[in-house]
Structure 1
Amino acid sequence: MCSLLRAAAALAAAAALVTGCSSGDDWSQPHPEPTAVGKLGPGFIDPSSPPAPEGTATPRPGSWAKVHPPKDYRVVLLTSGDERPTKKLVTAVQEWAGDEHVDLRTMTADGPSDLVPSVTRALEMGPDLIVSAGNDLVDPLAVVTPNHLSQQFLVVGAELAEPTHNVTAVDWYGASFRGEGLGMSSTYDPGSFSTERCAAAIRAGVASVLNDLTGIVIWLDNPSAPR
């Protein structure tokens, strides 16, 4: 009986060690500065003429494909709304996180009065990156992000009218909601939020952030397309 008890205690201690060492369990523990795994391909930007702050870059399709986040990259997915475009974006982020072994936490705003507080709660978690999905969050982000310049944000499927250097956006013809009373773009098309485009948005956006190309808009369409 004593030998059985000792064996059980040893197993419990081993399990506790495994749990305690899991970097995905406790974001309060020290965490190295995230760096990109892999390199951007030709055509992501023009190295001789990189986009200016608040500028737009139109990467060559797939030029971001070999860039990956480090394992256990800490990401908060901040979302609001249940429209089809938002759902497509959320699914794309979740699938990307699973493929890339990202430590993903989701924060959902509980109605209009909770939009700014939800951004604050996401900040308090201390992630490497906050990804925003849902047009309702654009104006709250415009209010909060200038006061937290050390935190990186990525807006997918929309953009801020005047982003600070810590806010990167991925947009395309058919999306491009900017908030601040500007209203919905006349070219807005929910059908443009395809599975493929939403998947490209999160991957291209993260590749840009990990390569310190921030405070810009990554445009996924042909540069000759009207905006």
Structure 2
Amino acid sequence: MLRPTLLAVAALAAATALVTGCGTGDDWSKPHPRPSAVGTPGPGFIDPSDPPGPEATATPEPGSWEGVSPSKGYRVVLLTTGADRPTASLVRAVKDWAAEEHVSLRTVAASGAPDLLPAITRAMDMHPDLIVSAGNDLIDPLATVTPNHLSQQFLVVGAELAEPTGNVTSVDWSGASFRGEGLGMSSTYDAASFTPERCAASIRAGVTAVLSDLTGIVLWLDKV
């Protein structure tokens, strides 16, 4: 019979092996297959005969995004800043979605204004399949960075860039609609509109668009 000390060592070794095994499966330094959509958008997501062009706004039918999931191994960086309630609601929705869809999620949080651009760089340096942005203070820095990194896909939830390039997709609604560039907060801004249901819909609808190659557009979720 193993003595208590030996039992403790064996238990520690087993736990270490388990943690190491999990970490190896989540090693972003290794290449992985190009991500794809599992499932297809439902009726009303977009009009297939007349898909939205660059910088266009589309209004998908509620729930039309529910049938789409990312393929196994989808790598996402949640880029965020701010502790306000709307941002916190978006962050929670992204994390819940990642857990439900078994997405490999990492988080980069900018610590303040001087760290906004460096935080975007840190996120891009991870080479994720998608960077999801939550927090209005990131909008202007993203407008500066994204046109120079067209191979990196970005998804902005709860706000939008005034002039997005084809690698930036946004999900917005009347109560959000922050666009940066010194325009100030929209007159229709309503923090109460960042409900758990709408925040959850924003990440699912946005990822559905990205996985369906409907990028560089704004999805408008007033119907949620």
Distance across 2 between alignment mates of 1:23 and 1:162:
39
Residue matched to 1:105:
106
Letter in 2 for 1:47: P
1:161-210 superposed Cα distances (whole Å, 9 cap, x missing partner): 00000000000111010001111100000000000000000000001000
Distance in 2 between residues matched to 1:33 and 1:205, nearest whole Å: 18
TM-score, normalised by the number of residues in structure 2: 0.90
The structure 1 segments of at least 4 consecutive aligned residues displaced by more than 4 Å after TM superposition are 15-18, 20-24
Alpha-carbon distance between aligned partners in 2 of 1:48 and 1:72, rounded to the nearest angstrom: 31
Q: Secondary structure at the match of 1:155?
A: strand
Match for 1:92: what amino acid?
A
Shift of 1:25: 2.8
| Change in CA separation of 1:23 and 1:30 when aligned onto 2, cut-off 3 Å | farther
Q: Are residues 1:88 and 2:89 paired?
A: yes
The Cα of 1:18 is off from its aligned counterpart by 8.7
- The reply on whether 1:52 has 2:71 as its aligned counterpart is no
Question: Following TM superposition, by how much is the alpha carbon of 1:48 offset from its aligned partner in structure 2, in angstroms?
Answer: 1.1
Deviates most, 15-24 or 204-213 = 15-24
- Conserved? CA contact 1:24–1:103, under 8 Å: no
Q: 1:23 to 1:101 in 2, by over 3 A?
A: farther
TM value normalised by structure 1: 0.89
Give yes or no for the alignment of 1:34 onto 2:35: yes
**Equivalent in the alignment of 1:209:** 210
Alignment gaps of 5+ in structure 2: 3-8
Is the 8 Å Cα contact of residues 172 and 221 (structure 2) preserved in structure 1?
Answer: yes
* Equivalent AA in structure 1 for residue 44 of structure 2: G
Alpha-carbon distance between aligned partners in 2 of 1:64 and 1:23, rounded to the nearest angstrom: 32
CA distance in 1, matches of 2:19, 2:211: 29
Superposition deviation, residue 22 in structure 1: 5.5
The unaligned stretches of length 5 or more in structure 1 are 2-7, 223-227
